């Protein structure tokens, strides 16, 4: 087994600014492309949720909580979680947010309309 001193030396050897800078520079274009794609879908989803909340007459002070629910489902979806697993996890999120005072009808509408996920 490696000693703690050896591990520290090896870690310090691979993390100087010049080495880290080169590694980041090599993957930066892909990182920017990935971020751009993700942020475009996130913003589109948030605008859709905001439209639903506006149409339902939800007080704006409650928007951040509904947005948090939607972002949690969006994160699962963007990680590739689909089908029954996504529905089960969305149901758990629904239950969590209902216990925090959000309206079931709004959460069901967001899950169904925005993500095509059925929650009850």
* Helix, strand, coil percentages, rounded to 5, for the chain: 80, 0, 20
The answer to whether 70 touches 110, Cβ cutoff 8 Å, is yes
**pLDDT at res. 73:** 98
What CATH number labels 30-115?
Answer: 1.20.58
**pLDDT at res. 20:** 86
Q: Token pair for residue 32?
A: 């920017």
To the nearest whole number, what is the mean pLDDT of the chain?
Answer: 95
In tens, the pLDDT along 42-101 reads: 999 999 999 999 999 999 999 999 999 999 999 999 999 999 999 999 999 999 999 999
pLDDT at 16 over 90: no
What is the pLDDT averaged over residues 4-20? 89
pLDDT at 2 over 90: no
Helix (H) or strand (E) holding 64: helix 63-78
């Amino acid at each position: 087994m490696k000693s703690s001193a050896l591990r520290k030396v090896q870690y310090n050897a691979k993390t100087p600014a010049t080495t880290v800078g080169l590694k980041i520079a090599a993957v930066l274009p892909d990182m920017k492309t990935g971020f751009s794609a993700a942020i475009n879908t996130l913003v589109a989803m948030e605008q859709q949720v905001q439209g639903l909340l506006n149409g339902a007459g939800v007080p704006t002070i409650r928007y951040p909580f509904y947005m948090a629910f939607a972002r949690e489902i969006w994160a699962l979806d963007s990680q590739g979680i689909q089908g029954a697993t996504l529905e089960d996890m969305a149901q758990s999120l629904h239950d969590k947010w209902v216990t925090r005072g959000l309206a079931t009808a709004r959460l069901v509408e967001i899950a169904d309309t925005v993500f095509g996920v059925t929650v009850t």
